[in-house]
Structure 1
Amino acid sequence: MSAFVVKGWCPDAWRPMMAGDGLLVRVRPPLGRVTREQTLGLCDAAAAHGNGLIDCTSRANLQIRGVREESWRPLINTLLDLGLIDPDPIREARANILVALEWQTGDDTHRIAELLGARLADLPELPGKVGFAIDAGETPVLQDAPADFRIERAESGTLIMRADGRTLGTPVSPGTEVDRLIALADWFVDSGGTASGRMVRHSAPLPDWAAAATPPAASAPVLRVGQHSLGLALGLPFGRIAASALARYVDTERAIKAIRITPWHIAICEADAALLIEPDPVDFITDPASPTLHVDACVGAPACPQGTVETRALALRLTPHIAGRLHVSGCAKGCARAAPADVTLTGREGRYDLAFNARAGAPPSRAGLDVAQILAQFGAA
């Protein structure tokens, strides 16, 4: 039996997971940014050691799919050479830090994320899916992205720390943000949060020093594909891109300095947008009105051993008939989307449970549906 066949963990580069199409190796680019050289090297590595497919996750991570067991160590060596993973497996496992995408060198988001990254060794042992969001721009942008402990901008303009699941946060003074985050993580473990798994499911009252009384500022508008202040924002269908297509575009468009990964299946090419030519719409989503931008679907069966149903072909058939957000999940874990969706389909024992305004695995409005019944429900038959 393969040493990688383990269910229930959150994979990273040092601890990959065996999926239906081979090993899944997750890369957490520092500050969510991959330079031009790193991007080309990553694409070469995905083609040489995997099946040539790269996923962008809801945590702004990259996943190299279909890695062969004998290729895992050479892939790790390449990722180390590229500076995309930490040589310390423990630090790499803790580097679950999501940052506001428009950070600039020296601003609050950059400052706090860098300090937190330097103090990963001070964190307690946390459940694998627990992470941090450093959302310290002028307006929060990560409120719907998965994270357990957040630094955000308040309505007053000050910074607050907020525990996920709480609508209010507590002010933090400049320079103390990382100390407070580490203290909150320590409290989470000490108060039994490990058994809950995630902050949003942990019902223990917050400590007095983290009393929640300050609301965050309203969230910024949703990121759209097209021209962006940093360059050009391109959509990735279901968060997936062929390494060959990404490498071809970056290699051709010499103006691209780096790629910023977002939690919304959109990648931003850092460049003067006027110098870029839009890529082939077969590989990227370039139309901001594309309905595919409003659907989340994991790889499903058979690529994921925990998925019991097909996901993406069904999602594509349904998308034109759904008003709002659609989430099709191969199982109750809901890896493609942590937040509720307007319409959610969850695979269970080879059939689908249908729920509205819910997360994957929520109690269904209709249970045990087959594909024909789902298509008929939404007039897509």
Structure 2
Amino acid sequence: MNAFSRRGACPALSAPMQTGDGRLVRLNPVAGGVSPKSLLGLGESALRHGNGIMEVTARGSLQIRGLTPASARLLAVEVDAMGIAVRTGVPVETGPLAGLDPEEIADPRPLAERIRAAIEDAGLAQRLGPKVSVIVDGGGRLTMDAVSADVRLAAMRIDAGVQWLVAVAGDRQNATPLVMVEEDVARDIAVAILRMVAEKGREAHARDLSERQLTSLASWHSFAPAKDRLPLTAAPAPSPIGLFPLGGDATALGIGLPFG
């Protein structure tokens, strides 16, 4: 059984996962979304090469089902021909309105991109398991509070500036807070956490780090532990369904898809 046939694996476009109804692939577009034309094209490809079912996952990826080994390769060729660039490696995720919400504390996309580059430079993608993930949450009306991750970076207003709360293993409410730091240090600590996880093997997650390791991360730059400075209790999450003014004439529409 390989890494992409076991339960809970992340089936990338280049490594489809065998399921009860054929092979499954999951697409995470680099641009953070796809145009209506591309979405139609993907639907047609899913019908041509799979069983026609295309799902949206809880984390916003597109999932295409019912593929065969041969048709999965054809799907990959068509996705490439449509110009849809998809992410590979460790997922570093931002919110659905990242960089668009005028109420955001900070645009999380630059920090997320710097973390992706640091992960690549360190060669960690090949050493970490397929379910290890990072969240960079800029705040605003639609946060990532309810989404679990191995590493969480959340923007916080501190006095007149912005710092990033670094926490591990969980969602906003149950993750273990480490430190509150500037952006550069947040990136360094995030990569240090992933290095520690990688050293434990491809089955490991941040929840497997020892108390000693977490203490060393929290005291790395001699900052006061975040748990002594800020409670992690999350405010009630707003509904993602409805209209969200984005400034100017732009508006986002949140819709609810039926399960399945």
- The TM-score bracket by the shorter chain reads 0.7 to 0.9
Q: Name the CA shift for 1:161/1:139 in 2 (closer, same or farther; >3 Å).
A: farther
Deviations 1:13-48 (A, max 9, x none): 111111111110111122532223332222221122
TM-score by length of 2: 0.76
Alignment of 1:149-188 (within 5 A): 149-154=151-156, 156=158, 157-165=162-170, 166-188=175-197
Q: Name the CA shift for 1:5/1:189 in 2 (closer, same or farther; >3 Å).
A: closer
What is the root-mean-square deviation in Å for CA atoms of aligned residues?
Answer: 3.0
Tell me the residue number matched to 2:67: 67
Structure of larger gyration radius: 1
Report the 3-state secondary structure (helix = DSSP H, G, I; strand = E; otherwise coil) of the residue aligned with 2:115. helix
Work out the percentage of aligned pairs sharing the same amino acid. Answer: 27
User: Contact between 1:46 and 1:52, CA under 8 Å: does it hold in 2?
Assistant: yes
Q: Name the CA shift for 1:51/1:3 in 2 (closer, same or farther; >3 Å).
A: farther
Tell me the residue number matched to 2:239: 223
Report the 3-state secondary structure (helix = DSSP H, G, I; strand = E; otherwise coil) of the residue aligned with 1:158. strand
Tell me the residue number matched to 2:94: 99
Tell me the residue number matched to 1:352: none
Deviations 1:222-273 (A, max 9, x none): 33322223421111112x4xxxxxxxxxxxxxxxxxxxxxxxxxxxxxxxxx
Tell me the residue number matched to 1:213: 226
Alignment of 1:304-315 (within 5 A): none
Q: Name the CA shift for 1:175/1:201 in 2 (closer, same or farther; >3 Å).
A: closer
The whole-number CA distance in structure 1 between the counterparts of 2:218 and 2:31 is 26
Q: CA deviation at 1:204?
A: 4.1
Aligned residue pair count? 231
Alignment of 1:230-245 (within 5 A): 230-238=251-259, 240=260
Report the 3-state secondary structure (helix = DSSP H, G, I; strand = E; otherwise coil) of the residue aligned with 1:180. helix
Deviations 1:42-78 (A, max 9, x none): 2221122111111111222111011132211111112
User: Contact between 1:32 and 1:98, CA under 8 Å: does it hold in 2?
Assistant: no
Alignment of 1:1-381 (within 5 A): 6-8=5-7, 9-30=9-30, 32-86=32-86, 92-94=88-90, 96-104=91-99, 108-121=107-120, 122-124=122-124, 125-138=127-140, 141-154=143-156, 156=158, 157-165=162-170, 166-190=175-199, 192=200, 194-195=202-203, 197-205=204-212, 206-211=214-219, 212-214=225-227, 215=230, 216=232, 218-219=234-235, 221-229=237-245, 230-238=251-259, 240=260
Amino acid at match of 1:181: A
The whole-number CA distance in structure 2 between the counterparts of 1:4 and 1:201 is 19
Q: CA deviation at 1:179?
A: 2.7
User: Contact between 1:51 and 1:67, CA under 8 Å: does it hold in 2?
Assistant: yes
TM-score by length of 1: 0.53
